[in-house]
């Protein structure tokens, strides 16, 4: 309905349980709306870019990966209509 936050929806879904069953190197890529866990990777929040350039690099590549995933979902929706309505 759009009134549930992404974090709350994830916490109450079976996807969280499935993700927790897997061992490394499996991770879910999420934005700052989620909490960092053993299986959920989120970008670094506020930090000194000069002191931690590796965090800035991580955030850049993390963002690029999320953009690529979103584009793939867009292709699936346009091509086959999946993800555009409940199954």
CA distance 45 to 14: 27
Q: Which residue has the higher pLDDT, 77 or 52?
A: 52
Average pLDDT of the chain to the nearest whole number: 84
Q: Which two tokens stand for residue 19?
A: 């993700």
CA distance 38 to 7: 15
CA distance 87 to 84: 9
> Which DSSP category does 72 fall into?
H
> Which DSSP category does 19 fall into?
H
Cβ neighbors of 5 (< 8 A, separation 6 or more) are 33
pTM of the entire predicted model:
0.68
Give the pLDDT confidence score for residue 65 in this predicted structure: 94
Residue recorded with tokens 């979902």:
73
């Amino acid at each position: 309905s759009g009134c549930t936050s992404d974090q709350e929806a994830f916490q109450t879904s079976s996807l969280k349980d499935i993700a927790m069953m897997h061992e490394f190197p499996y991770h879910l890529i999420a934005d700052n709306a989620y909490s960092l866990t053993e299986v959920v990777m989120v970008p670094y929040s506020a930090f000194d870019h000069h002191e931690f350039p590796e965090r800035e690099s991580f955030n850049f590549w993390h963002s690029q990966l999320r953009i690529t995933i979103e584009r793939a979902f867009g292709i699936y929706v346009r091509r086959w209509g999946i993800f555009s309505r409940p199954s």
